[in-house]
């Protein structure tokens, strides 16, 4: 039995109450039960695919999502009032050592010392898919969505590229590309910075019973995928077995991504900062929505977001399409 078939059987078997799937060729009905999914990333198994031009997870992510990358026209990439700058990665699409609108996952390599021993740790980085994502809840255009299955999505046809999502993300994950998006149709000279892009955990693949591309491609089995609570249990069991540590279970109010490491995440974070690598791994970082400023901002943005969302819906309805041309 291959990993994909194992995943399908595991998900179907794990649905609360059970669902009759006799005769079905796919597992969409299983996902329709809104079972939450997640990933466990075992840093003791990841070796960064040493010796390859690209880590397998990075290469698979880029290939899978290539048709969804932004394609701005040069004449549309320009500042808008009152901004005097813009973010353009269209001429740097081959950058793979950080997150960009064209690179939604990458692997950090960090040298650490723990308990008198030196070690090299490889850390796959991408969206954590938080349980209560400030990015989605504070987007004034309602361009982001926390799905029942767990992944946090950005709608490129609604996003104005204001980058509020990146500002409130503890890891500053979403990345902006100028010269694309709805703002070009609405107010190109006065509003909008482009569109924000990030990992969506291969949402279209998982609702069709497939593994996320990074999981499917990993030669070491360092990234596991399945029902979220199962991933949590596996992370806890693995951490206990190696006398290690878990990251992502509590940070930012909890996430759908559980890292397991033999080295404390406080040590990893400090090493990342000392070696000037970003994003870091701040431990038990507070969810912005639970702060006084975050709560106040949410209350202020709520009515504005409602009006903007309604306006965008009307605009799209009048145009008769939802594309991003």
Hey, where are the domains in the chain?
A: 36-319
User: What is the pLDDT, as a whole number, of residue 17?
Assistant: 33
Give pLDDT tens digits for 270-290.
999 999 999 999 998 988 888
Among 174, 125, 133, 170, smallest CA distance to 150 is for 133
Alpha-carbon separation of residue 270 from 69, 91, 312 (angstroms): 33, 32, 43
State which residues of the chain have pLDDT below 70.
1-34, 81, 191, 292-325
CA angle centred on 53, ends 52 and 57, rounded to 5°: 75
Q: Residue 13 has which token pair?
A: 């078997």
User: What is the pLDDT, as a whole number, of residue 85?
Assistant: 82
Q: Cα 304 to the chain's mean position, in Å?
A: 26
User: What is the pLDDT, as a whole number, of residue 293?
Assistant: 66
Query: Nearest 5°: phi and psi at 109?
Result: -120, 120
User: What is the pLDDT, as a whole number, of residue 78?
Assistant: 85
User: What is the pLDDT, as a whole number, of residue 295?
Assistant: 54
Q: What is the pTM for the complete model shown?
A: 0.83
Q: Residue 267 has which token pair?
A: 């040590």
User: What is the pLDDT, as a whole number, of residue 19?
Assistant: 29
Give pLDDT tens digits for 243-260.
999 999 999 999 999 999
Report the residue count for the chain.
325
Cβ neighbours of residue 44 closer than 8 Å, sequence gap 6 or more: 242, 244, 260, 261, 262
**What are the start-end ranges of the H helices in the chain?**
3-13, 28-32, 56-65, 134-137, 164-168, 183-186, 203-206, 213-217, 228-241, 265-274, 292-319
Long-range contact list for 86-91, CB < 8 A, 24+ apart?
Answer: 86/178, 86/179, 86/193, 86/194, 87/175, 87/176, 87/177, 87/178, 87/193, 87/194, 88/177, 88/178, 88/179, 89/175, 89/177, 90/177, 90/179
Q: What is the assigned CATH class of domain 36-319?
A: alpha beta
Distance CA 40, CA 56 (A): 17
């Amino acid at each position: 039995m291959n990993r994909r078939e194992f995943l399908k059987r595991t998900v179907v078997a794990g649905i609360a109450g059970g669902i009759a799937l006799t005769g079905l060729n796919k597992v969409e009905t299983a996902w329709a039960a809104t079972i939450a999914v997640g990933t466990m990333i075992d840093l003791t198994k990841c070796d960064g695919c040493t010796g390859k031009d690209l880590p397998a997870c990075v290469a698979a992510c880029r290939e899978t999502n290539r048709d969804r990358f932004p394609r701005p026209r040069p004449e549309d990439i320009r500042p808008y009032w009152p901004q005097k700058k813009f973010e353009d990665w269209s001429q740097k699409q081959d950058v793979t050592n950080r997150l960009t609108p064209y690179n939604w996952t990458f692997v950090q390599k960090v040298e650490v010392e723990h308990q008198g021993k030196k070690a090299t740790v490889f850390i796959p980085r991408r969206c954590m898919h938080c349980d209560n994502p400030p990015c989605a809840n504070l987007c004034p255009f309602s361009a982001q969505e926390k799905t029942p299955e767990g992944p946090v999505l950005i709608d490129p046809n609604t996003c104005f590229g204001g980058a509020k999502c990146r500002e409130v993300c503890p890891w500053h994950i979403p990345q902006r590309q100028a010269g694309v998006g709805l703002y070009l149709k609405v107010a190109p000279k006065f509003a909008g910075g482009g569109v924000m892009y990030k990992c969506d955990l291969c949402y279209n693949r998982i609702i069709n019973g497939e593994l996320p591309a990074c999981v499917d491609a990993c030669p070491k089995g360092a990234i596991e995928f399945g029902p979220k609570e199962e991933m949590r249990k596996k992370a806890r069991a693995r951490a206990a077995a190696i006398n290690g540590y878990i990251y992502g279970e509590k940070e930012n109010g909890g996430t759908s991504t559980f890292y397991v490491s033999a080295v404390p995440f406080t040590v990893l974070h400090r090493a990342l900062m000392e070696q000037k690598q970003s994003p870091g791994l701040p431990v038990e970082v507070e969810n912005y929505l639970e702060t006084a400023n975050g709560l106040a901002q949410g209350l202020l943005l709520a009515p504005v977001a409602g009006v903007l969302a309604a306006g965008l819906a009307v605009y799209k309805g009048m145009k008769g399409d939802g594309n991003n041309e």
